[in-house]
Amino acid sequence: MGLTIDAVLGSEDFSKENLIFLLQSQGEERTKLFAKAAETKRKYVGNTVYFRGLIEYSNLCTKNCYYCGIRKDNKNIDRYTLTEKEVLDAVAYAYNEKYASLVIQSGEINSSKFTAEITNLLTKISKATHNSMGITLSLGEQDRETLRQWKDAGGRRYLLRIETSDESLYTKIHPQDTTHSFQKRINTIKLLRETGYQVGTGVMIGLPFQTLEHLANDLLFFRDMDVDMVGMGPYIEHKDTPLYVHKDTLLPQKERFDLTLKMIAILRIMMKDINIVSTTAMQAIDPIGREKALKVGANIIMPNLTPQKYRGSYLLYQDKPCIDEEAEQCKTCLEIRIRFAGDKIGYGEWGDAKHFFRKTSVNN
């Protein structure tokens, strides 16, 4: 007897076979998957969406990932690093608007100078906001001492996307050298846990060479790594990257978008109390893409606080939305979107992953 949607959703047996079945769902089966995910979200994390004010600190990068628009060898972008004042002005806006949480993101840089810059910023942010901001860092692979230093200075969460949990696929979308090591990526995610961060990772969906089995394994990877938050979105090609030559082999963008919704929904059912981001890339494909992600399980949104003049230079993929908006416009737009999705905004709340604290209490 074949698999049925009711049996799979009822058993919550997340075997690879069952995950692939859910990823293939269409029509009524897909509707039931999304309904189960929405029910799970309401029950375990509620209908509150938490803002993470995004500060894209620098587009300098030492890496050459084949999919990324800010890769080191891309000569067609203007490089920048925000000044301390520009960062603190963005922080002041978030603080005054009761965002309660920030994300500091940049290209991957490994240097004592960069480590000191981030430590200084974290210290000044904590002082300026009376230690009231929950800070997420997304600054690439770093060593233990750097991660500990940033944690001591105010870092609370850390997002390090694996992009794919399959080592063979990883080598196809990265240069094969010591700077782009799959095992180092895995080890750094583990190191984040050891250092005390709430740990986040994520993948791209619809990559060249990617199969449904790869995506099913990605979901199992999130579970087995016991992560606290996930940010994943559709792969969107960028003309100034090596992977662009494969653009004619890709799934249509609408199918990549739909697969991403199913990945979010399945992950919500699998890992009921983690935080899941509704990524900007969803809106790049569908005008109400972020709302659709919220409806099937996502509960985090990242309004962009980067000064508008720099946003066009932080394009990891093409057609990134909202690059012409100032912070206030972005906030107003997202408020409307969140209400439309039937959720409310958790102003003044850090919105930490319940999963993190549940694990902590069990282990103590």
pTM of the model: 0.96
Amino acid at 158: Y
Taking only the tens place, the pLDDT of each residue in 118-164 is 999 999 999 999 999 999 999 999 999 999 999 999 999 999 999 99
Is residue 1 in a domain? no
Is residue 364 in a domain? no
Lowest mean pLDDT across 10-14, 182-186, 254-258 = 10-14
Is residue 3 in a domain? no
Is residue 335 in a domain? yes
Domain of residue 135, CATH code = 3.20.20.70
For position 364, what pLDDT does the model report?
44
Is residue 2 in a domain? no
Is residue 9 in a domain? no
Structural domain tally of the chain?
Answer: 1
Is residue 277 in a domain? yes
Taking only the tens place, the pLDDT of each residue in 29-41 is 999 999 999 999 9
For residue 56, what are the contacts with CB-CB under 8 A and spacing of at least 6? Answer: 82, 105, 106, 304, 306, 310, 311, 314
Taking only the tens place, the pLDDT of each residue in 223-264 is 999 999 999 999 999 999 999 999 999 999 999 999 999 999
Is residue 245 in a domain? yes
Alpha-carbon distances of 270 from 6, 205, 227, 232, 265, rounded to whole Å: 15, 18, 12, 15, 9
For position 362, what pLDDT does the model report?
53
For position 320, what pLDDT does the model report?
83
Considering only CA atoms, which of 162, 206, 154, 213 is closest in space to residue 183? 162
- Measured at the CA of 315, the angle between CA 221 and CA 230, to 5 degrees, comes to 20
Instruction: Determine the structural domain holding residue 306 and report its residue range.
Output: 14-359
